C-alpha cells in the first residue's frame, strides 16, 4: 500500500492518501482536493481502504417497502417532481385504512421495515401520523417503522403545538422507531434560498436529528447533489453532518441523492454523469469517517450504478422496495417500477465481488447469503 501511495504524483493527494492509510481524519480542504484533483482509480483505491476497514467485503440490504401518504405539500421546492396540485391526475392522498391495506399486502412476506415519507400535508399534525403508526404496530408489532423526514416532522410537530423534543418523544411513544434522512438537500444557506427557500433551515434539520438521537431513535442523512452546488458546498454539507455524528453517533448511513431533471423547474440544468456519481460516493466514504455505512439508493441511481458504487466505497444497497416508491420515478430515474427480489439483489452484490448480508434496520445481520 505504501508503494502505491508513493507513486501518486500530487503532493497534496499523496499527503491525503497517507492520512487515510493511517486512519487520520482529513480536513475540508483535503476533501475538496479529492473532488478536484483525484482520478477515479485513486478514489476507488482510497475509498476501498475505508470501506474494508469498516465493513470488510460485505454489502448490506434489507427487505422493506415504502408508504408515501400524499404528494400534497405546502412547499414548492424547485427540484421537486413529486409535488402535484390537488386536481392533478398524479396527485394522491391515502387514508389510514388505505395505508393499512398496503401493510396487509405484506402479511405473508418476510419484510422487516416500512419507510413512510411523503409531502408535507397542510392539515395533518403529529397525532394524525402517530395514530397511523400505532395502527401499523397493532397489526404487525415486529415491523420497524422508519418514518417522516425532518421537514415533515418540523411541520407536524409545530402544528400540534409541541417542541421538537416533546413531539419526537410523543411519536416514539406512538411507535416510531427511526427517521430517514430526507429533506437535507444542501445545507449552504445561500444556495438553499435558491432551490428550496421555504423549507426547514439546516440548523433545524440538524437539531431534529440530534434530538432524535438523544431520545434513542437513530436516523440516516442525505445530500442532494448534481444541481447548482459546488464541490465546496458538498464538503460543507458533509462537514456539518460529520460534526453532529461526532457528538451523537446516531446516524446509521449517509445516502447521496442525485438530482433528477424530469418534471421540475430546474430541468434546464441537466444531470451529472455516472462518473460524477461514483466520485461523489467515494469522497463521501472517505470524508464521513464516523459514518458506519454509505448507501447507494438503487431506485435513484439505477441498478447498474448502484452495483458499480460498491467499488467506490458504498456498502449498502437499501432494500427490496417492492415497487412502493414514486419519488424518483416521477423525476425521471431509470427504475420506473423499483423492485428487486432477494435473489436479484444478492446476485447483483455477488457479481460485484461482495458478500451479501441481509440486515435489520439497525444493521444487525439477519442472514448471510
Computed over every residue of the chain, the mean pLDDT equals 91
Q: Which pLDDT does position 264 carry in this prediction?
A: 74
* Domains recognised in the chain with CATH numbers: 2-38 (no CATH), 58-368 (3.20.20.70)
| Residues β-bridged to residue 60 | 316, 357
Give yes or no for residue 160 having a pLDDT over 80. yes
**What's the pLDDT tens digit per position in 20-63?**
999 999 999 999 999 999 999 999 999 999 999 999 999 999 99
Three-state secondary structure of 1-32: CHHHHHCCCCHHHHHHHHHHHCCCCCCHHHHH
* Per-residue model confidence (pLDDT) at position 230: 97
The pLDDT score that the predictor gives to residue 99 is 97
Higher pLDDT, 160 or 268: 160
Say which DSSP state 323 is in. Answer: S
pLDDT of residue 324: 53
332: pLDDT strictly greater than 50: no
Residue 10 confidence class, pLDDT cut points 50, 70, 90: confident
Provide the pLDDT for residue 367.
95
HSE value, Cβ hemisphere, 13 Å, CA-based, for 243: 11
pLDDT at residue 3 tops 90: no
pTM: 0.93
Q: Could you count the other beta carbons within 10 Å of the beta carbon of residue 89? A: 6
Give the DSSP H or E segment for 55. Answer: helix 40-55
Res. 328 pLDDT band, cuts 50 70 90:
very low
**Mean per-residue pLDDT, 234-260:** 97
- Say what the pLDDT of residue 79 is: 76
Which tens digits make up the pLDDT trace of 86-117? 767 778 899 999 999 999 999 999 999 999 99
Amino acid at each position: 500500500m505504501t508503494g502505491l501511495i508513493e507513486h501518486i504524483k500530487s503532493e497534496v493527494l499523496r499527503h491525503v492518501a497517507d492520512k487515510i492509510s493511517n486512519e487520520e481524519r482529513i480536513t475540508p480542504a483535503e476533501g475538496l482536493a479529492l473532488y478536484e484533483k483525484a482520478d477515479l482509480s485513486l478514489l476507488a483505491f482510497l475509498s476501498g481502504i475505508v470501506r474494508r476497514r469498516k465493513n470488510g467485503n460485505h454489502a448490506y440490504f434489507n427487505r422493506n417497502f415504502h408508504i408515501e401518504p400524499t404528494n400534497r405539500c405546502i412547499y414548492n421546492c424547485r427540484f421537486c417532481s413529486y409535488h402535484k396540485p390537488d386536481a392533478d391526475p398524479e396527485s394522491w392522498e391515502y387514508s389510514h385504512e388505505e395505508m393499512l391495506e398496503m401493510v396487509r399486502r405484506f402479511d405473508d412476506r418476510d419484510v422487516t421495515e416500512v419507510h413512510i415519507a411523503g409531502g408535507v400535508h397542510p392539515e395533518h399534525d403529529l397525532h394524525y401520523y402517530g395514530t397511523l403508526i400505532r395502527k401499523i404496530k397493532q397489526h404487525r408489532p415486529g415491523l420497524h417503522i422508519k418514518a417522516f423526514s425532518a421537514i415533515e416532522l418540523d411541520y407536524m410537530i409545530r402544528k400540534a403545538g409541541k417542541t421538537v423534543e416533546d413531539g419526537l418523544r410523543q411519536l416514539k411513544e406512538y411507535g416510531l422507531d427511526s427517521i430517514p434522512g430526507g429533506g437535507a438537500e444542501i445545507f449552504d444557506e445561500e444556495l438553499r434560498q435558491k432551490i428550496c427557500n421555504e423549507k426547514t433551515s439546516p440548523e433545524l434539520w440538524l437539531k431534529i436529528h440530534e434530538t432524535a438521537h438523544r431520545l434513542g431513535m437513530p436516523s440516516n442523512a442525505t445530500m442532494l447533489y448534481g444541481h447548482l452546488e459546488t464541490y465546496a458546498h458538498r464538503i460543507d454539507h458533509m462537514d456539518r453532518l460529520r460534526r453532529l455524528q461526532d457528538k451523537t453517533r446516531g446516524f446509521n448511513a449517509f445516502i447521496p441523492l442525485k438530482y433528477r431533471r424530469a418534471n421540475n423547474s430546474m430541468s434546464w440544468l441537466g444531470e451529472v454523469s455516472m462518473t460524477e456519481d461514483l466520485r461523489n460516493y467515494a469522497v463521501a466514504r472517505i470524508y464521513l469517517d464516523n459514518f458506519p455505512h454509505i448507501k447507494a439508493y438503487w431506485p435513484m441511481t439505477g441498478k447498474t450504478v448502484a452495483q458499480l458504487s460498491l467499488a467506490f466505497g458504498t456498502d449498502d444497497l437499501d432494500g427490496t422496495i417492492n415497487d412502493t416508491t414514486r419519488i424518483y420515478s416521477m423525476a425521471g430515474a431509470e427504475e420506473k417500477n423499483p423492485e428487486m427480489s432477494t435473489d436479484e439483489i444478492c446476485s447483483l452484490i455477488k457479481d460485484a465481488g461482495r458478500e451479501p448480508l441481509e440486515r435489520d434496520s439497525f444493521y444487525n445481520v439477519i442472514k448471510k447469503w
